Structures are given as C-alpha cells and as structure tokens.
C-alpha cells in the first residue's frame, strides 16, 4: 500500500525584489512528501534550498518576496496564506528545526518556557499537563536531568543540547511534517550522528514526513529515502537515495559526488567544481544553468529550455547534457 501524500508542491516560484525588479530564487520546483518519508534537498549554498522551506511555513517578508505556484497541505493551497493563517499551521502541523540553535532560541527565556510555548498556543493542555509534556519531550530527545534543564537559559547548554531542545520544540505538538534546515551544521561529527539518529527515531514514532535541507551528501546517504539535487533555483535530478548514489546522472550531481573524499583517494587531488553558483541577478534564465561550469561540454549537448524528465522509474534528470557528460580530465566518451 502506497504511503499517504501529506504535502504537494507544484510549480513553486519564489522571487526576491532588488530595487524595482523581482528575481526568481526558486524557479518552477515540484515535489511531494509522503508520510514517514525523508525527502532531502541537497546543493551548494545559495541554490535556493532554504528559500523553498521558508515558503512552506511563510517565513518570507512579503514586502520583498513574491511566491507563486501551489503548496498543497490538507487539501488547501497555503502558498500565500496570511501570517494569522500560517500561525495556525506552524508548530501544530509543521515543525521547523533551524540550523543555528543559539540564534533560534530566545536568550532571555528559560528552556522550559520555550518548549511550552507551542503547547500553549496549539493545545488545550492545562499548566500541569504542559509541564509534564515538556519534561517528557526533554527525555525523548535524550537530555539528562530535564528538571534542571527546564530552568536553564540557552547559553548554559552545549551546542548538541541546544539542538535537542530545538527538536523537542519542533516535535512538541506531534506535527505531520518536520522541516530540518541544516540541522547538524554547527555540531561535531559525533554529536551529528547522535542528532540524526534521534531525529530518525522520533520521526518514526510520530509517523511524520521530513524535508531535510543539507549540503552534506554523507547525511543524505545516511537518512534520506528520496533526494532532490538543486542547482541555481531548479531541481536538476530527483531519485531514490540508493539510485542517486549508485547511478548519478546529471553533471552537477556527479561533480558533487566526485568532490567527496574517498577511502581510495589518499594522496590524490580532490575534484573541484569550476566556478560558483551565479548570483540571483546574473542567473541565466535560458539554457542549462550548469553549462558555464562545464565549458568543455559542447553547447549542442545542452537543451535550450531544459526540463526535468523521467529517465527511469522515479529517476528524473534536467537537460540532455548528462547523456554525454565526462569530467574534463577524462576526455570524451
């Protein structure tokens, strides 16, 4: 039996205003999220990953941002909900784990109060029940001595503990969707592994879907069920995680994977992707957006208007350049 679809994003465009013009930072993105699925969006900084998830929970400043397309949750298009409407969804239906816990937690409020806030706003629990739920959540996320921690301030906790507190806040109302935006960026490797294991266990417990935003392909390999590789505002490849790592097709995906240190690459130079992600105002709006970074591939190999096409079951790739791609030092096929 196929898992329930809990979120559907259709032709999403998110544009930011510079002076009097709007420029698309997210340009025609489509995806679905199923219950109990981890859907990862991976790519370099500046490609539009966080812009997508901020749109899902209405965190953009509407004075400078224009959102179009559809974000379907619970049979409603929430793409352009008002702040009041989003407040009913955020925390209750969609939990958000931010990438910087120290900046995300209020330095003036005790931990217990911050975990309790969504319970006050979204539930009918009385004060004693809320206090019990806060302690239960701290236990769930693996924090020792929760009765002491509820009375501490964020600066008194380690980075790993602060991240666990953010997870507790995100899961407090047992949401259907969890958005994790670079949830382990500021943590050391040992703590990263603990946080990722914890997130996976808790997600299964509440039967939620996770949208995982990351630039770390190791995290993707460990956690994701499906992966979208994003470049310059567009998905360039979407596939099941196992398929993506076993059979990467788009030149950008292959370049990302090639740049990861391997056990057999000792003493060898790491692969470096030429150039950088173009700025929003200089982004080419026609042709293959990755073409300037693989200039040894002839222009004839690229499409004029590349589309995301299914090349095998559940595996989608943008532009035809993948068919004859090779790395510069390999020569032609």
263-314 pLDDT, tens per residue?
A: 565 556 677 888 888 888 888 889 999 999 999 999 999 999 999 999 999 9
Tokens 């784990």 belong to which residue? 97
* Rounded CA separation 242/215 (Å): 17
The pair of three-digit structure tokens given for residue 183, joined into one six-digit string: 């949830």
Query: Quick count: other Cβ atoms within 10 Å of Cβ 225?
Result: 17
| DSSP letters for 202-232 | HHHHHT-EEEEEES-HHHHHHH-SEEEEEET
Nearest to 67, CA basis, from 19, 6, 25:
25
Instruction: Name which of 53-62, 93-102, 122-131, 227-236 the model is least confident about.
Output: 93-102
Q: Which fold would CATH assign to domain 5-224? A: Rossmann fold (3.40.50)
DSSP letter at 313?
T
Task: Please say whether the beta carbons of 13 and 67 come within 8 A.
Answer: yes
pLDDT at 265: 57
Nearest to 220, CA basis, from 47, 42, 97, 50:
42
Inform me whether the pLDDT recorded for 333 exceeds 60. no
CA distances in angstroms from 146 to 70, 115, 127, 169, listed in the order given:
41, 12, 17, 14
Q: Residue 194 contacts by C-beta under 8 Å, 6 or more apart in sequence?
A: 142, 160
Domain boundaries, the chain: 5-224, 249-261+271-330
pLDDT at 175: 95
pTM of the predicted protein model: 0.93
Share of the chain above pLDDT 70, in %: 96
pLDDT at 99: 82
pLDDT range class, residue 174, cuts 50, 70, 90: very high
pLDDT range class, residue 184, cuts 50, 70, 90: confident
pLDDT at 282: 85
pLDDT at 132: 96
Query: Quick count: other Cβ atoms within 10 Å of Cβ 176?
Result: 21
- How crowded is the C-beta side of 162, counted as CA atoms within 13 Å? 22
* Rounded CA separation 161/116 (Å): 17
The chain-wide mean pLDDT, for the chain, equals: 92
Task: Please say whether the beta carbons of 141 and 101 come within 8 A.
Answer: no
């Amino acid at each position: 039996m196929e898992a329930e679809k809990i979120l559907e994003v259709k032709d999403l465009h998110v544009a930011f205003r510079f002076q009097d013009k709007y420029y698309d930072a997210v340009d025609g993105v489509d995806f679905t999220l199923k219950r109990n699925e981890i859907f990862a969006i991976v790519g370099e900084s500046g490609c539009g990953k966080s812009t997508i998830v901020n749109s899902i929970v209405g965190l953009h400043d509407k004075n400078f941002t224009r959102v179009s397309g559809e974000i379907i949750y619970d049979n409603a298009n929430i793409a352009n909900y008002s702040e009041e409407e989003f407040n009913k969804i955020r925390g209750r239906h969609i939990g958000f784990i931010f990438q910087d816990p120290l900046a995300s937690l209020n330095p003036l409020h005790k931990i217990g109060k911050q975990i309790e806030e969504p319970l006050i706003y979204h539930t009918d629990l009385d004060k004693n029940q809320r206090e019990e739920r806060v302690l239960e959540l701290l236990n769930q996320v693996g924090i020792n001595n929760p009765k002491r921690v509820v009375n501490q301030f964020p600066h008194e906790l380690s980075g790993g503990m602060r991240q666990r507190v953010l997870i507790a806040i995100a899961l407090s109302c047992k949401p259907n969707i969890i958005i994790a935006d670079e949830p382990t960026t500021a943590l050391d490797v040992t703590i990263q592994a603990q946080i990722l294991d914890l997130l996976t266990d808790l997600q299964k417990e509440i039967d939620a879907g996770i949208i995982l935003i990351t630039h770390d392909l190791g995290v993707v390999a460990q956690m994701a069920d499906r992966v979208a590789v994003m470049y310059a505002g567009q998905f360039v490849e979407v596939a099941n995680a196992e398929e993506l790592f076993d059979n990467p097709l788009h030149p950008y995906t292959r370049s990302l994977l090639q740049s990861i240190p391997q056990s057999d690459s000792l003493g060898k130079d790491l692969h470096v992707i030429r150039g950088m992600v173009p700025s929003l105002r200089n982004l080419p709006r026609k042709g293959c957006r990755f073409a300037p970074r693989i200039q040894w591939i002839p222009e004839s190999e690229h499409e004029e208007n590349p589309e995301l096409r299914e090349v095998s079951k559940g595996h989608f790739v943008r532009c035809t350049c993948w068919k004859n791609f090779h790395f510069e030092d390999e020569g032609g096929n």
